[in-house]
Structure 1
Amino acid sequence: MLSVAVAALNERDPGRLWPLLAGALPGVCGGETLIYKLDDWNENEGTVGMPPAVAAAFDGLGAADLGLLRAGYPFARHYAAGSGRTPLTARRTAGAAWSASPTARLIGRVLDADHVLAIPLPRTTTPITGCMVYRSGTDFTDDQVRAAEQVQPLLAAVEQQRQLLEHWQRSAVPGPAGERAAECALTPRELTVLLLLADALTAAAIGRRLGISDRTVHKHVEKIYRKLGTRDRISTVLRAQRLGLIPMP
């Protein structure tokens, strides 16, 4: 999983980050497949991401079935009611009502799965976002739920990276920005740190946003200085703006 995360953090296309994770995450916590939803778990709207094989299984379903999938029963109501974001299984959340629910029947029919493990992204408030891992047979064990909890910070880091890269793509000079970033040998991670530097965040604040230590932030900043030929934050931001790497204020 660590190697997949490293690959994801070095991926320039934000649309590929979660598909990279989707192939490795189920095996970490004893699942067989997953879907991820990076907007609110509700039945009326929102994009559901899934591996191609899962998408093929859901192809042709009606709006009502897709609504059940989006709704994330029984997790959305549970997480919305409190501040906890600990991974939970559907069986432990809903009890016996899970097996009789329309959602359980849907995943049984389409995915041949009996159980779901929700892994919400930590620190999310509204909307509740994250992924759901599916398996057949017995429910997820305590160890598998703990494994899911251990990877939550990693998932949050990848999602933060995705959001920052999308912001960079929207705000930087189209086309040339990516070429210039490659010419300067800036990695995607260094680009996100550069964006936060331009927002005048301290190293500690950048570390909190990205889920990394202050020391790691300083290492990224040193590499950015070296690659852009600068010596301090202000000259670095100004040079990056002149190069079109980040938007002008």
Structure 2
Amino acid sequence: MEAAPGGDAKRIHDLALQIITEKQPVRVWPLLMERLTADLPCDLAVLIDLNWAAGTGHALTGSPDWLHEAPLDALIHAHMRSHPLLRHYARTRDRTPLTMDEVADDRWWKGEAYRAGKDAIGIDRQLALPLGSAPGRIRGVIMSRSGRGFSERDLEYAALARSLLDTVEAHEAAAFARPALADPADYKITPRERAVLTLLCEGLTAHVIGTRLGIKPATATKHTENLYRKLGVHDRVAALRKAHYLGLVPPPS
């Protein structure tokens, strides 16, 4: 049975309150992805940032946690221009949440891009929540579920959620922005890895980092290993020194 629209409004209100009172800014977007998948519900949600003109882009964060090990960037680079939802937003600059069923034809469902996504991460029916972005770029959340499509009630929830996501971006910029810090994307460091790096600076163990971020300790360890590789180091001390030198984290007090 589908939830009543009034229940959706309360869930969005409660989520907004949780976000603005969140004391750890690194948790905001992972928290959003987790709640979106639970409240809609859907199987997965991914925050993407695409340079449409260049044909490049990244999956910034997502839920469930196993998505961080999936080949999302490879899928984006290979198939973004054939993705009907992304093509629609690139062409129109529309910011209305839409489902794949509303914009795709038979060529999508029978095509290579659909098969590649389904084989890699099990995507089937999709719903997009586009966010504000600069010209030539697409930023938003792609949600997916298997089997059944999205209903009118789901679209009503998505419209509420999309407004919240825009507000979160503005709140994050005002409350947590650190203009002096380098952009982790320049070093191919994801937001989740940046979160792990920030907590590594506090001297926390993989177990505690996992608890703070709501992930398994083994996943926190894997993110740490990825950070070492991207920073070109082999241990925590060297990683923190390199991160300070590059401006990825604030200088030690």
TM-score (norm 1): 0.58
Contact 2:44 2:145 (8 Å CA) reproduced = yes
Total equivalences in the alignment: 167
CA contact (8 A) 1:116 1:135 kept: yes
Question: Residue 35 in 1 paired to residue 46 in 2?
Answer: yes
Is 1:50 aligned to 2:59, yes or no? no
Distance 1:97 1:141 in 2: 23
After TM superposition, list the pairs within 5 Å mapping 1:1-249 onto structure 2.
1=11, 2-40=13-51, 43-51=55-63, 52-56=65-69, 58=70, 61=71, 64-68=74-78, 73-121=83-131, 123-126=132-135, 127-167=137-177, 169-171=178-180
Is the contact between residue 31 and residue 133 of structure 1 (CA under 8 Å) also seen in structure 2? Answer: yes
The answer as to whether partners of 2:97 and 2:129 remain within 8 angstroms in 1 is: yes
State the match for 2:199 in structure 1: none
CA radius of gyration, larger in? 1
- 1:182 is matched with none
Contact 1:46 1:70 in 2 (8 A): no
Q: Name the CA distance, whole Å, in 1 between partners of 2:124 and 2:149.
A: 8
Extract unaligned runs of 5+ from structure 1. 173-249
Specify whether residues 163 and 39 from structure 1 end up closer, same or farther in structure 2 by C-alpha distance, changes over 3 A only. Answer: farther
> Which residue identity lines up with residue 3 of structure 1 in the other structure?
D
Choose between structure 1 and 2: higher strand proportion.
2
Q: TM-score scaled to structure 2, two decimals?
A: 0.57
RMSD: 2.8
Pair 1:102–1:44, CA change in 2 (3 A): same
3-state SS, counterpart of residue 161 of structure 2: helix
**Unmatched runs of 5 consecutive residues or more in structure 2:** 1-10, 182-253
**Cα distance change, pair 35–155 in 1 and its aligned pair in 2 (3 A):** same
Partners of 2:73 and 2:134 in 1: how far apart? 27
